[in-house]
Structure 1
Amino acid sequence: MSASLLTIIGILLLLLFLGSPVIFAIGVAGIAYFFVEPNMTSMLSIVVHKFFTGMDVFIWLSIPLFVIAGEIMSATNMTERLLGFSRLLVGRLRGGLAYVNVVGSMMFGGVSGSAMADIAALGPVEIEMMRKDGYDRDFAAALTVSSAIQGPIIPPSIPLIMFSSLTNTSVAGLFLAGAVPGILLGGGLMLVVFIMARLRNFPRNPIKDLSVAIVFRIVLDAFWSLFMPVIIIGGIVSGIFTATEAAAVAVAYALLVGVFAYRNLTLKELWAILDRSARVTTSIYLIVGFATIISWIMANERLPDTLEAFIMAQDVAPWVLLLAINIFFLINGLWISDSVQLLLFAPPFTPILAAMGVDPIHFGVIMTMNVMIGLLTPPYGMALYLGSAVSKVPLGQIIRASLPMLFASLIVLMLVTYIPAISLTLPRLFGFAN
């Protein structure tokens, strides 16, 4: 590993550790390489070229489209409809609203594909409902934040789309592979709720005066939202359209539902949705562009080949390497965001694991689960900060209350890591994995 590469890695880590914006840290580190590496200043034009080509990838178009679709469904009061449906399913159990929180996030994640969108859209409603029903606000906030990480694992998933583009792995296979692990994460949180409901005597919260007519109305209200992921996943898996085309279909479907089914989407709100989506997408695209420069530098320095040769020389068993990589990603999650981890580490690590017999689809799910769990780990954990903002609960209280849920998520991560069938059975059934 050259001194120049060590220098830019040091600059990147230092800037991130000091809390500088991720875009700034990656951009400065990438450009610095052309000044510290001898005879590279004349090749600064590569920065512009790689920055543009990194973003100029067809599948990246699906990200702003999925963001827009999620924003539209959120703006049309889909959250309340999904929570009502969740309450119909599990509200009668002890700790009913806590189960509703988990199930609601599971279903909303199938629409937005974003943990942050889940917390922002469902968080205020869920936390206030639980507070009024007698739950501690810190527990409600911690559960909301913890359940939100299912969203980017249950398809459609923006992180899985990123992994697919970075490693040339089938996005349909990744979507299918993420379904069961995402549901398992929800199951782990429900187990935590089950235990705490007995210990703390949580209340039940069934729907009163339930009748066939009320059940029909609740199901009908939620139907249009629940049918959206069916269209997306069904279209991709069947080969009717690509992930990017599926995202466009999702936007069209969300518009039709908002205008004709729910009848509460206005032009003013649509403009606000486009504005918010543009802001979110811009930050993602800038990170992608600058991270592409870093990836080119690593390839130019032959870092992936060096890592692969080093690991192969150590004769490390695949299960040991998977454990080490899990620990590596989880530690990075303390201070590096989910998208940055994917952009920096998916390209070099995927071929190494593939050479050791680990299916790239399986590794994609493992990595995505790791970076999502990283959203719950301080001090960087973005989900924790957003949860504190929407709940008005101090960050320290949310962290303490979320520890049992973090532990349950880590157990599920280990199960998915060492039992490949959990993530690979569905892709194998549809011919996307061996």
Structure 2
Amino acid sequence: MSMQLILVLVILFGLLLVGSPVVMAIGTAAMSYFVFKPDMLGNLMMYAHRLFTGMDSFIYICIPLFMLSGELMGLTGLMDRVVDFCRIFVGRLRGGVAYVNVLASMLFGGISGSALADIAALGPIEISMMEADGYERDFAAALTATSAIQGPVIPPSIPAVMFASLTAVSVGGMFIGGVVPGIMLGLGQILVIFFLARKLHFPKSDVRYSAKEALLITLKSFSAIFMIVIVLGGIISGVFTATEASAISVAYVLLLDLLVYHKLKPRDLWSSLKNAATGSASIFLIIGFTSIISWILTMESVPLMINNWVAAANISPYLLLFLVNLFFLFNGMWISDSAQLVLFAPIFAPIFQQMGIHPIHFGVVMVVNVMIGLITPPFGVGLYTAASVSGCELKDIVKASLPFTASCIVVLLLITYIPNLVLMLPWLAGYI
């Protein structure tokens, strides 16, 4: 490993540790390579070239479009209907509103593909609902943050799209491979709520729905839930691609509002477009700058060095998966999910494939892992977002989120060492 590469990594991790914005840290570290490496300053055009080619992928168009569909669903009131639909099934149980939080995030995850969109759109609704029912506000914020991470695992999934584009794996295969792990994350959180509900005496709702009321709520929420069927059904059946599905999801919400709800105003549409643009712009910049770092690592033969080290050490695939999981969890404390995917997916995916690990299996494991990074301090972006929408102290949210984070890590270990939990549905769907 050259001294120039060591300096790049020191600058990158040093800036991240002192709290520099991720985009600034990655961009500065990448630029330093051209400054320190002899004869590279004359090739500075490569910096700009790699920046734009890293973002120049047709499939990435789905990122702002899925974000936009989530924004529009929040404004049209479709998410309120999803919450009401979840109340029918679990609202009467002790801790029922907490269960509703998890189920609503599970359904919303099948629409936006973004954890932060889930927290921003559903967070105010869920936190206010739980606080009104007698829950501590910091607990409600912690549950909102942790339940949101199943969203980018259950399809459609923006991180899955990124992994697929970086490793030439089928997007449809990644999507359907994330179904069971995503549901397992939700079930793990529900199990935690079940035990806490009895220990902490969570409130129990007395609201009961008649058959007629339940049917009416189901009919009202059908339009929101049917969107999941359209997106997933179209992708799995091959009728349209993930990018086309994202455009169809936006068109579906707009058409639904135009014909039925009539809630969107021009200023709301502008606000949604702006939020989707700014949210996806940060992801695109991270992808662009991180692709420069990935190019630098390739130039310095880092993937080959790691491959040779693994071969020489004669490490079993599952021991290496364990070590890589620890590596990703550690990095997740200060590196964003997007940055980890772009940096490490092209390096590790070929190594595991050579060792007999199916790329869809590794891809889903990596996506779940980097999603857990959103709720690990000190720089878990999901925790900061939950603190922002709730007004709670970050330390209180972190403390309340620990049991849920532990359940997520248990699910991560299960899908790591039981590959069929990931691969069964892609095999049935013909992707394997």
CA distance, structure 2, for counterparts of residue 204 and residue 54 of structure 1 = 51
How far residue 215 of structure 1 moved from its aligned partner, in angstroms, is 1.5
Q: Deviations over 1:229-272 (max 9, x none)?
A: 21111111111111111111111111112222322112221111
Aligned pairs for 1:192-341 (under 5 A) are 192-205=192-205, 207-208=207-208, 210-341=209-340
CA distance, structure 1, for counterparts of residue 284 and residue 139 of structure 2 = 35
- For 1:84, the equivalent position in structure 2 comes to 84
CA distance, structure 2, for counterparts of residue 50 and residue 267 of structure 1 = 37
Letter in 1 for 2:424: T
8 Å contact from structure 1 (residues 87, 206) kept in 2: no
How far residue 206 of structure 1 moved from its aligned partner, in angstroms, is 5.2
Letter in 1 for 2:203: P
CA distance, structure 2, for counterparts of residue 155 and residue 107 of structure 1 = 10
Flag as ranges the 4+ runs of structure 1 deviating above 3 A.
none
Q: Deviations over 1:127-156 (max 9, x none)?
A: 111112111222211111111111000000
8 Å contact from structure 1 (residues 96, 206) kept in 2: no
CA distance, structure 2, for counterparts of residue 421 and residue 207 of structure 1 = 40
- For 2:53, the equivalent position in structure 1 comes to 53
CA distance, structure 1, for counterparts of residue 261 and residue 313 of structure 2 = 60
8 Å contact from structure 1 (residues 88, 206) kept in 2: no
CA distance, structure 2, for counterparts of residue 322 and residue 76 of structure 1 = 43
How far residue 214 of structure 1 moved from its aligned partner, in angstroms, is 1.4
- For 1:156, the equivalent position in structure 2 comes to 156
Residue 65 of structure 2 corresponds to residue 65 of structure 1: yes
My pick for the range that moved more, 227-236 or 185-194, is 227-236
How far residue 207 of structure 1 moved from its aligned partner, in angstroms, is 3.6
- For 1:112, the equivalent position in structure 2 comes to 112
How far residue 399 of structure 1 moved from its aligned partner, in angstroms, is 1.0
The runs of 5 or more residues in structure 1 that have no matched partner are: none
CA distance, structure 1, for counterparts of residue 203 and residue 286 of structure 2 = 45
CA distance, structure 1, for counterparts of residue 403 and residue 210 of structure 2 = 37
The runs of 5 or more residues in structure 2 that have no matched partner are: none
CA distance, structure 2, for counterparts of residue 19 and residue 241 of structure 1 = 41
- For 1:133, the equivalent position in structure 2 comes to 133
How far residue 164 of structure 1 moved from its aligned partner, in angstroms, is 0.6
Determine what percentage of the aligned residue pairs are the same residue. Answer: 53
SS at match of 1:319: helix
- For 1:430, the equivalent position in structure 2 comes to 429
SS at match of 2:106: helix
Q: Deviations over 1:16-55 (max 9, x none)?
A: 1111111111111111111211111111111121111111
- For 2:41, the equivalent position in structure 1 comes to 41
8 Å contact from structure 1 (residues 105, 150) kept in 2: yes
Q: Deviations over 1:159-183 (max 9, x none)?
A: 1101111111100000000011000
Letter in 1 for 2:360: I
How far residue 388 of structure 1 moved from its aligned partner, in angstroms, is 1.4
My pick for the range that moved more, 259-268 or 357-366, is 259-268
CA distance, structure 1, for counterparts of residue 132 and residue 41 of structure 2 = 62
The number of aligned residues is: 432
Letter in 1 for 2:158: I
8 Å contact from structure 2 (residues 79, 224) kept in 1: no
CA distance, structure 1, for counterparts of residue 175 and residue 186 of structure 2 = 17
- For 2:178, the equivalent position in structure 1 comes to 178
CA distance, structure 1, for counterparts of residue 172 and residue 210 of structure 2 = 40
CA distance, structure 1, for counterparts of residue 63 and residue 134 of structure 2 = 38
TM-score under structure 1 length normalisation: 0.97
How far residue 367 of structure 1 moved from its aligned partner, in angstroms, is 0.6
Letter in 1 for 2:169: T
Residue 9 of structure 2 corresponds to residue 9 of structure 1: yes
CA distance, structure 2, for counterparts of residue 375 and residue 366 of structure 1 = 15
My pick for the range that moved more, 145-154 or 194-203, is 194-203
> 1:145–1:202: structure 2 CA closer, same or farther, 3 Å change rule?
same
Residue 369 of structure 2 corresponds to residue 361 of structure 1: no
Residue 345 of structure 2 corresponds to residue 350 of structure 1: no
How far residue 204 of structure 1 moved from its aligned partner, in angstroms, is 2.0
CA distance, structure 1, for counterparts of residue 276 and residue 284 of structure 2 = 12
8 Å contact from structure 2 (residues 361, 423) kept in 1: yes
My pick for the range that moved more, 195-204 or 77-86, is 195-204
SS at match of 1:121: helix
- For 2:145, the equivalent position in structure 1 comes to 145
SS at match of 2:178: helix
CA distance, structure 1, for counterparts of residue 39 and residue 388 of structure 2 = 48
Letter in 1 for 2:356: G
CA distance, structure 2, for counterparts of residue 222 and residue 321 of structure 1 = 44
CA distance, structure 2, for counterparts of residue 33 and residue 228 of structure 1 = 46
My pick for the range that moved more, 254-263 or 418-427, is 254-263
CA distance, structure 2, for counterparts of residue 360 and residue 406 of structure 1 = 25
TM-score under structure 2 length normalisation: 0.98
Residue 388 of structure 2 corresponds to residue 389 of structure 1: yes
CA distance, structure 1, for counterparts of residue 48 and residue 405 of structure 2 = 41
Q: Deviations over 1:172-212 (max 9, x none)?
A: 0000000110000000011011111111222222543x223
How far residue 406 of structure 1 moved from its aligned partner, in angstroms, is 0.9
Q: Deviations over 1:98-137 (max 9, x none)?
A: 1111111111111111111111111111111111211122
Q: Deviations over 1:398-420 (max 9, x none)?
A: 11111111111111110011000
How far residue 97 of structure 1 moved from its aligned partner, in angstroms, is 0.5
CA distance, structure 1, for counterparts of residue 49 and residue 336 of structure 2 = 25
8 Å contact from structure 1 (residues 105, 148) kept in 2: yes
